[in-house]
């Protein structure tokens, strides 16, 4: 027999108005429907209804992880600094890491993710190839000191996450473990009712040979991804690549100097010369671990600093300031060109292909040059895809114009390789009696983020609208008000419970039918059963929360329909 939860005894306080600080749909509705309450910036309390949804998502994740042979553990959230020093991530995480000291002055941190600690566990527990492969996972609270927590539970300073790790002795084994997780994630998100896309991603500071993200399209999403309407290509914008063919350098004339006073920006330069911005070469100066680096892109495009940072991780990337020009007379602010640059690494987008000619800075005030040819007049040290991707950019696979969309990251999988195994010297004895370095995969699902993503994707103008698998109840029974209706509502609730359905029954005295109906739609249980005007006849009204379809049924018919 399943549980019957009476609204009169449930700790829930619904609100008619949106919270003043709420910007996203999930933030507004989860608070208004009494699922969560804000404790402080980025820190949320999960109330009874919210905890039920969170636990239902956790159950689905756990069932699918167990199905691929995953073994659940629970590691500490309070972690010693030494493990993260060994991997280099104590410094790499920067301000995102919560750091603290104990009473003896020893350094600790609150875990943002647990690659280091899982590696240590396997090093302690596994000594032979016979002990592998193994998949370990946990569902736990993680911590990141977000500078600007926002969007409700979508971007908090603490959050629920499933993180799992695979350990294999061969690269082929890692690929198999990765595929097991990929397939499990597809099943998880299908069971949760999440519309999702699997997109190529960059590994960044995590390292490794392959990385994919699972994204839930939603206007509130903080990730931008591209879809190709003509083929199966999809990728995070940071992973989109571009290939340009080399041009014929001999078709361009010699470098010609141009007098261009007061034109330190692409816009002023293009207007002064009467040329399109795409004919100019923009050179952005950044500092990479303190060293000045120039980044070249066509003048009509912007540098994606996030993308650049991912390519150069774990190095720290920041824009130069006016002070950085003081001791560098070779760098003329607003008039930098790649030709003749001394002691400056030059990174360029692939669109700056060999043989292409550009209008660019002459490295002296109020002066530009034209016919500056890549490969003839300057060299590129490194080609990296660093421009902000735009709607209509060509698909790397088929050339069709790409479509941009917003999404919430709900999962991320990595083939880590041996980065962490090398840091901790994780070896096992191989079949030949010699040590074998273990290779790893890392796989995350944002459990609390999934709650927010579902709210964003499934809500309507009346409130939340949960898929049955994760809803806080299967049926929301509403007593329209009178004693007879309340009696029938409680009777039906018990009968539904007896056939295994989870029931929320609103029998609150002194609450008007209108308020009860509004709350039922706000809370978002998939089926609403109303004991109303025909209660004396034993007839109830069954409403589908998503479609709004209604039908009158006898109690027996309603139970049969709902338990089918």
SS (H, E, C) 185-253: HHHHHHHHCCCCEEEECCCHHHCCCEEEEEEEECCCCCEEEEECCCCCCEEEHHHCCCCCCCCCHHHCC
Task: Give the pLDDT mean for 473-494.
Answer: 94
* End-to-end Cα distance, the chain: 16
Contacts of 184 (CB under 8 A, 6+ apart): 64, 65, 67, 68
Is 299 in contact with 263 (CB distance < 8 Å)?
no
Beta bridge partners of 436: 428
Report residue 482's pLDDT band, with 50, 70 and 90 as the boundaries: confident
Q: pLDDT tens digit string along 253-288?
A: 899 999 999 998 999 999 999 999 999 999 999 999
By CB neighbour count within 10 A (0-12 exposed, 13-18 middle, 19+ buried), where does 350 fall? middle
pLDDT in tens, 347-372: 999 999 999 999 999 999 999 999 99
pLDDT tens profile 490-544: 999 999 999 999 999 999 999 999 999 999 999 999 999 999 999 989 999 999 9
**pLDDT tens for each residue of 170-204:** 999 999 999 999 999 999 999 999 999 999 887 65
Percent of the chain with pLDDT over 90: 79
For residue 451, the SS3 value is helix
Please, what is the average pLDDT of the chain? Answer: 93
pLDDT tens for each residue of 203-225: 655 556 688 999 999 998 988 89
**What pLDDT shows up at residue 313?**
80
- Give me the helix-helix angle, 48-67 and 447-458, nearest 10°: 110
**Which tokens belong to 439?**
């290779």
Over residues 294-320, the pLDDT tens digits come to 999 999 999 999 889 888 887 889 999
Nearest to 348 by CA among 287, 284, 305, 399: 284
pLDDT tens for 69-107 read: 999 999 999 999 999 999 999 988 888 999 999 999 999
CB-CB neighbours of 270 under 10 Å: 19
Q: What is the pLDDT of residue 206?
A: 56
How crowded is the C-beta side of 111, counted as CA atoms within 13 Å? 23
Query: Which tens digit of pLDDT belongs to each residue from 18-69?
Result: 998 888 999 999 999 999 999 999 999 999 999 999 999 999 999 999 999 9
Question: At 330, is the secondary structure helix, strand, or coil?
Answer: coil
Q: Residue 203, Cα to own-chain centre: how many angstroms? A: 13
């Amino acid at each position: 027999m399943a549980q019957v939860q009476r609204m009169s005894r449930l700790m829930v306080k619904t609100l008619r108005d949106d919270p003043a600080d709420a910007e996203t749909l999930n933030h507004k509705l989860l608070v208004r429907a009494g699922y969560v309450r804000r404790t402080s910036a980025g820190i949320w309390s999960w109330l009874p209804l919210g905890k039920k949804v969170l636990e239902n998502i956790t159950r689905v994740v756990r069932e699918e992880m167990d199905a691929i042979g995953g073994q659940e553990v629970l590691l500490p959230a309070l972690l010693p600094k030494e493990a993260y020093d060994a991997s280099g991530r104590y410094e790499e995480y920067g301000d995102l890491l919560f750091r603290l000291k104990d009473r003896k002055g020893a350094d600790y941190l609150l875990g943002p993710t647990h690659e280091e600690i899982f590696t240590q566990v396997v090093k302690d527990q596994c000594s032979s190839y016979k002990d592998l492969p193994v998949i370990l996972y946990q569902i736990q609270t993680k911590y990141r000191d977000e500078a600007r927590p926002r969007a409700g539970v979508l971007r908090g300073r603490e959050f629920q996450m499933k993180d799992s790790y695979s350990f294999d002795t061969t690269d082929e084994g890692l690929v198999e473990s990765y595929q097991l997780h990929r397939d499990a994630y597809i099943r998880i998100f299908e069971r949760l009712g999440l519309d999702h896309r699997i997109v190529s991603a960059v590994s960044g500071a995590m390292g490794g040979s392959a990385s994919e993200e699972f994204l839930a399209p939603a206007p509130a999403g903080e990730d931008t991804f591209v879809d190709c309407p003509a083929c199966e290509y999809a990728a995070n914008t940071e992973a989109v690549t571009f290939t340009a063919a080399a041009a014929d350098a001999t078709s361009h004339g010699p470098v010609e100097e141009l007098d261009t006073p007061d034109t330190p920006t692409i816009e002023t330069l293009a207007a002064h010369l009467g040329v399109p911005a795409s004919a100019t070469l923009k050179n952005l100066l950044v500092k990479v671990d303190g060293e000045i680096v120039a980044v070249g892109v066509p003048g009509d495009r912007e540098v994606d600093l996030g993308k650049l940072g991912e390519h150069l991780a774990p190095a720290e990337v920041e824009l130069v300031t006016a002070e950085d020009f003081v001791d560098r007379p070779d760098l003329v602010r607003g008039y930098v060109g790649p030709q003749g640059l001394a002691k400056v690494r030059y990174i360029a987008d692939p669109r700056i292909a060999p043989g292409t000619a550009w209008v660019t800075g002459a490295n002296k005030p109020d002066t530009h040059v034209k016919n500056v040819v890549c490969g003839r007049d300057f060299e590129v040290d490194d080609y990296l895809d660093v421009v902000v991707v735009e709607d209509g950019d060509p698909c790397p696979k088929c050339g069709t114009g790409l479509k941009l969309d917003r999404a919430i990251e709900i999962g991320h999988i990595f083939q880590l390789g041996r980065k962490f195994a090398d840091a901790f010297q994780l070896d096992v004895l191989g079949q030949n009696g010699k040590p074998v370095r273990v290779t790893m995969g890392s796989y995350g699902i944002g459990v609390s983020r999934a709650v927010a993503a579902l709210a964003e994707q499934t809500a309507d103008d009346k409130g939340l609208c949960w898929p049955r698998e994760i809803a806080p109840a299967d049926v929301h029974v509403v007593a329209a008000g009178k004693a007879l209706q309340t009696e029938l509502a409680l009777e039906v609730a018990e009968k539904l419970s007896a056939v295994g359905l989870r029931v929320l029954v609103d029998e609150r005295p002194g609450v008007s039918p209108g308020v009860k109906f509004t709350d039922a739609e706000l809370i978002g249980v998939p089926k609403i059963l109303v004991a109303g005007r025909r209660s004396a006849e034993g007839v109830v009204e069954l409403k589908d929360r998503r479609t709004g379809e209604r039908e009158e049924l006898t109690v027996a018919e309603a139970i049969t329909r709902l338990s089918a």
